[in-house]
Structure 1
Amino acid sequence: MSVSLRKARTIIRKTLEKGREMELKPLSVVVLDAGGHVQAFEREDGASPGRFGIAQGKAYGSIMLGLPGSAQKARADEQAYFMIAMNGVYDGKVVPVPGGILMRDRKGVIIGAVGVTGDTSDNDVIAGLAGIAAAGLTGDA
């Protein structure tokens, strides 16, 4: 199973709503399917155009490695060579920081990933988890 377009749009809408509620800087949110392909993306007014690549890199690393952004960052801090090698394997597309969130269905199966960027990594995660929960899924940040 993968994430539907309807759920992806809900995740984005609710993530952005949470960001506005928290008075965050303008966010950009991408939803990837289980194969790492973009299902949906939105960039709020005022967010820099380069945010797509950051959001995608956060989510892409999560789905390709099966590790949320926080675990990737910990791995990079402890074994930088590993994340450097992974970025080589994935053509530099991995952004190993919080804000890359794995999505799981009710059975715990990974069905995709969300990447959120624009504010602090911790705030990006809070907003993204709210969006995922609103779609009836579980987030692993």
Structure 2
Amino acid sequence: MIALSAARTVVDGVLAHARAARFPPMTVAVLDAAGQLVAFAREDDSSLLRERIARGKARGALNLGVGSRSLAGKAAAHPAFIGAVTSLADGELVPVPGGVLVRDGAGVLLGAIGVSGHHPDADEACALAGAEAAGLVAEPGED
């Protein structure tokens, strides 16, 4: 499981990347491998649904075992499947980039990061920066 100290470092790394890039207000959720929230931050003026979107990106990655970039490709190729799985997940699956799985150096799954606030590719870049700041291996998925 991802430690609280590492999850906080992820959050700080995400927000530092977003501020350096001058992105709009961002929201980040760090979940452990069981899908439980470990750390969360919502910048001032972040829109209301960003919290649920960030958690949905992270939870979706955990639910299907791939980064949310892969889920975006699956949604395009198999919309009925992703629609059904989203329903089964009670809406906690957002199939767009910005949700990454995170592992330790030995490849052990620790959890997932979900970021929302800008375009999906920018959200994903923030998640990758947060993982790197904490020394974790991020898996965004493939197109």
> Does TM-score exceed 0.5, indicating one fold?
yes
Structure 2 residue aligned with 1:26 = 25
Structure 1 residue aligned with 2:75 = 76
Does residue 42 of structure 2 align to residue 43 of structure 1? yes
2:19, 2:7 → 1: CA distance? Answer: 19
1:91, 1:46 → 2: CA distance? Answer: 27
- 1:101 alignment partner AA: V
- 1:138 alignment partner AA: V
- TM (norm. structure 1) is 0.97
Root-mean-square deviation (CA, aligned residues, Å) is: 0.8
Structure 2 residue aligned with 1:4 = 3
Structure 1 residue aligned with 2:85 = 86
1:13, 1:88 → 2: CA distance? Answer: 32
1:3, 1:133 → 2: CA distance? Answer: 14
How many residues get paired? 140
Structure 1 residue runs of 4+, over 2 Å off? none
Q: For each residue in 1:78-99, what CA deviation from the matched residue of structure 2 results, as whole angstroms up to 9, or x when unmatched?
A: 0011111111221121111100
Quote the offset at 1:132 in angstroms.
Answer: 0.4
- 1:64 alignment partner AA: N
Structure 2 residue aligned with 1:129 = 128
Quote the offset at 1:49 in angstroms.
Answer: 2.5
1:53-132 maps to which residues of 2 (within 5 A)?
Answer: 53-132=52-131
Structure 2 residue aligned with 1:52 = 51
Quote the offset at 1:47 in angstroms.
Answer: 0.6
Quote the offset at 1:121 in angstroms.
Answer: 0.6
- 1:97 alignment partner AA: V
2:95, 2:107 → 1: CA distance? Answer: 23
Three-state SS of the structure 2 residue aligned to 1:112 is strand
Quote the offset at 1:64 in angstroms.
Answer: 1.1
- TM (norm. structure 2) is 0.95
Consecutive unaligned residues of structure 2, counting only runs of 5 or more, are none
